[in-house]
A = this chain, B = another copy of it.
Amino acid sequence: MEKVGTYKFMAEPFKADVKGNLFMSALGNYMLNAADFQSAERNFGYLDLRESNKAWVLSRFVIDISEMPKSYEHFHISTWVESAMRFFTRRNWSIQGDGGKQYGYGCSVWAMIDLETRQPADIFAIGNGIMKEYVDEEHTVPIEPPSRVRMNEKEAKLVREIDTVYNDIDINGHVNSVRYIEHALDILPLEWHSNNFIRRLEVAYVAEAHFGDKLRFYEDRQSEDEICYRISALQPDGKEQECCRIKILVKSK
How far in angstroms is the closest Cβ of chain B from A215?
13
Kindly report which residue of chain B lies nearest to residue A177, judged by CB atoms.
Answer: B14
CA distance A227 to B69 in the complex (A): 39
A170–B16 contact, CB under 8 A?
Answer: yes
CA distance A47 to B70 in the complex (A): 13
Q: Which residues of B contact A14 (CB under 8 A)?
A: 29, 32-33, 170, 176-178
Instruction: Confirm or deny: A126 has a beta carbon within 8 angstroms of a beta carbon on chain B.
Output: no
Instruction: Confirm or deny: A169 has a beta carbon within 8 angstroms of a beta carbon on chain B.
Output: yes
Contact of A36 among B13, B173, B190 (CB under 8 A): B13
Kindly identify, within residues 37 to 89 of chain A, every residue whose CB is under 8 Å from any CB belonging to chain B.
Answer: 46-47, 71-72
CA distance A170 to B17 in the complex (A): 5
Contact of A169 among B18, B33, B165, B167 (CB under 8 A): B18
CA distance A25 to B15 in the complex (A): 12
Instruction: Confirm or deny: A250 has a beta carbon within 8 angstroms of a beta carbon on chain B.
Output: no
Contact of A46 among B13, B46, B173, B193 (CB under 8 A): B13
> 20 A-B contacts, Cβ less than 8 Å apart?
A12-B29, A12-B33, A13-B33, A13-B171, A14-B32, A14-B170, A14-B176, A14-B177, A14-B178, A16-B171, A17-B166, A17-B169, A17-B170, A17-B171, A18-B169, A18-B170, A166-B188, A166-B190, A167-B185, A167-B186
Instruction: Confirm or deny: A211 has a beta carbon within 8 angstroms of a beta carbon on chain B.
Output: yes
Count copies of this chain in the complex: 2
Contact with B along A156-185 (1 / 0, CB 8 A): 000000000111011101001110001001
Kindly report which residue of chain B lies nearest to residue A162, judged by CB atoms.
Answer: B162
Instruction: Confirm or deny: A145 has a beta carbon within 8 angstroms of a beta carbon on chain B.
Output: no
Contact of A171 among B47, B71, B185 (CB under 8 A): B71
Interface residues on A, range: 35 or more
Additional pairs, 6, CB under 8 Å, beyond known A17-B169, A23-B167? A13-B33, A14-B177, A17-B170, A18-B173, A71-B171, A169-B190
B72–A47 contact, CB under 8 A?
Answer: yes
A166–B189 contact, CB under 8 A?
Answer: yes
CA distance A148 to B20 in the complex (A): 34
